[in-house]
A and B are shown apart, each in its own frame.
Chain A
Amino acid sequence: MALNVVVCLKQIPNPDLQFQIAADGKDIRRETLNYKLNGADEYALEEAVRIKEKQGGRVVALTLGPKRTEPMLREALAKGADEAVRVTYDEPAAFDVGKNARILAAAVRTLPHDLVLTGVQSDDYVNSATGGLLAGILGLPHASVVTRVAFAGAGLEVACELEGGLQRVVSLPMPALLTIQFGANTPRYAPLPAIMKAARQPIKELGPSALGLTSWDSVALPYAFEVTGLAPPAAKGRAEMITGSVDEQAKRLAQLLKEKGFVRR
């Protein structure tokens, strides 16, 4: 059975970086950030492509964000997505996951979908909410933190990771939404010819009017949402920091381990 798979991707600032707060305290400073495809979404993309390779069908890579997301979409095309769609909501911070998900849901409605995949969470805002919200809004059955996808009859049988290493296996019919966990597969590298080809492929853009909206401000929200402020985290008790050259640090560490009786002589 050929399947239409929509995989939702998010571009995030590399979380290994150090961050500074913008002058107004409402966002981080974004001028110098480098962006990448969100970690869990790499696995969602790979899962989507594998499903297509096994079942036949098409993969559409969908994102919400400014023009800077285009290289990420081309990466998705190079790794096996057939089409890339960018919803042109270009609010750089986009903290309100509820608004993002409502716009994204409207975009998914315009695309044929037997299966919608997202990553389990984005590593920048760690909401773990977009997938579940989409399922609720679109009325799709869903499963979260999925580590294994199998096709059974006309539906799916998937393993969902719980705390402490337990896995809950559930079955669900399609269309369905799955949030894919880190490590669910081994994401591929894009072959060079595919990268070259992806560079020339068009990226479809969906603006507010394509989603039945007059503007991005006219998304109907049952609430008012405001970011009141960003700050460096309140230090909960910092480690005693050992400074100096590597050799000096090594002396101190060895001394500490000996003092505390962790070294057998």
Chain B
Amino acid sequence: MAKDVLIVAEHLEGQVTPSTLELISAGRGLADSMDEQARVLVLGHRMEQLAQHLAGYTVEVLLADHPALAEYAGDAYVQAVRGIVESMRPRVVLVSHTSQGYDLAPALAGAMDLPLVTNGLAVAFEGDRLRVLRRILNEKVQVEVEVRSERPIVVTLRPGSVKPQGTGRGMQSVTPVPVTIDPSAVRVTFVRMERPQVQDIDLSAADIIVSAGRGIQKKENLVLIEQFAKAIGGVVGASRPLTDMDWLPKTRQVGQSGKTVRPKLYVACGISGAMQHVAGMKDASLIVAINTDPTAPIFEVAHVGFVADVLKLLPATLKELKA
């Protein structure tokens, strides 16, 4: 079997997603360690320009062009990648752990009977074993798993876990690869894209954000968060569970599926710090976290931490601020 690493590029509305660049960086590291080659696979229709752009990252780009791939849809993409994996027999297939990635990667592994490890933070070969580092149980436990197989191993990597490398000097080539898609086996069809309707403040433009999580316990306690935000000239954000419960509109959600913010100050109130939330706020200049659980992962990204009940600490702090 070849030892190559096949990196599946992801694009959304004509743009390469940032996690793809991280994936290229991880894939090149993995291929270099085996003295083999990393190749990037671009699937789509009329994506030459995007493929050329990726070739600037000093990786050979394979371009799979087919009208059925114009918009992402699970089974057409699985079919196309399957054909390429069968002919190329890579050692590893790397996919981003994104909505699109975890639609594609497990279905590919299931359909082709391949080994699968998802949501990895780091990946390396040790002899014939692929070692993947993962975080589980609300980021509180780290686990290392090893997979050994004669077949290509499908791995998804968590966005933000690897540093992307800048574009290289030497442009690599873009090679078209044949795609065969049986239209009768394409059952999932793209209908349309829906955008969130913005009729609220733009959280990503705020300098100070006070965000609430499940630790505030009751919707009525949002008043306290609002008072505190007002006292320091900030706006109120939220973690996913709160917008899911409709305590706050979706526009206030910080995280992977919501807004990415980089304020000067971010106060996380009763937020545990699940990766999906942290992805959206880790680059704030100053992060203050308040949580009753001393092992909450939010304290890993925060600069200043308070193990405290937010419902007690905020009123006491408001009193101090007025004093």
Contacts and interface: CB of A to CB of B under 8 A. Distances in A.
B228 to A, nearest CB: 10
B257 A161 contact: yes
Given A224-B147, A249-B313, A143 B110 contact: no
| Size bracket, chain A contacts | 35 or more
A136 B188 CA distance: 13
A257 B140 contact: no
Interface stretch (B28-36, B45-53, B293-301): B293-301
Interface string B135-151: 11111111111111111
Contacts of A97: 116, 118
Interface in A67-116: 95, 97-98, 101, 105
B305 interface: yes
Contacts of A105: 110
Contacts of B142: 230-234
B321 A263 contact: yes
B232 A136 contact: no
A250 B113 CA distance: 56
Interface stretch (B59-67, B92-100, B164-172, B174-182): B92-100
Contacts, number: 293
A239 B288 CA distance: 8
B151 A223 contact: yes
Given A139-B111, A239-B289, A240-B305, A163 B299 contact: no
Nearest to B82: A136
Interface string B11-35: 0100001000000000000000000
B127 interface: no
Contacts of B99: 144-145, 160-163
A166 interface: yes
Nearest to B115: A223
Contacts of A166: 12, 193-196
A228 interface: yes
B119 A19 contact: no
Interface in A139-161: 139, 141-145, 157, 159-161
Given A228-B131, A233-B141, A249-B313, A98 B195 contact: no
B216 interface: no
Interface secondary structure of A, over-half rule: mixed
Contact of A253 (B195, B297, B317): B317
Interface residues of B, number: 106
Contacts of B196: 165-166
A238 B116 contact: no
B312 A132 contact: no
A18 B293 contact: yes
A226 B146 contact: yes
Contacts of B312: 246
Given A231-B142, A233-B140, A169 B192 contact: yes
B316 A231 contact: no
Given A166-B193, A182-B241, A230-B141, A257 B232 contact: yes
26 contacts: A15-B137, A101-B110, A128-B118, A132-B110, A136-B78, A141-B75, A145-B99, A159-B194, A161-B99, A162-B98, A165-B195, A168-B193, A173-B187, A224-B148, A224-B149, A229-B143, A231-B142, A232-B141, A242-B305, A242-B306, A249-B313, A250-B313, A251-B320, A262-B233, A262-B234, A262-B264
Nearest 3 A/B pairs, CB to CB? A136-B110, A132-B106, A183-B244
Given A231-B144, A233-B142, 20 more contacts: A19-B141, A129-B116, A133-B116, A141-B187, A143-B103, A162-B100, A162-B257, A183-B245, A223-B148, A227-B146, A233-B139, A233-B297, A241-B305, A241-B307, A242-B305, A246-B313, A249-B313, A254-B317, A260-B265, A262-B264
Interface of B: 12, 17, 71-75, 78, 97-100, 102-116, 118-119, 131, 135-151, 153, 187-196, 208, 231-234, 240-241, 243-245, 250, 253, 256-260, 264-265, 272, 275, 286-289, 293-295, 297, 299-309, 312-313, 316-317, 319-321, 323
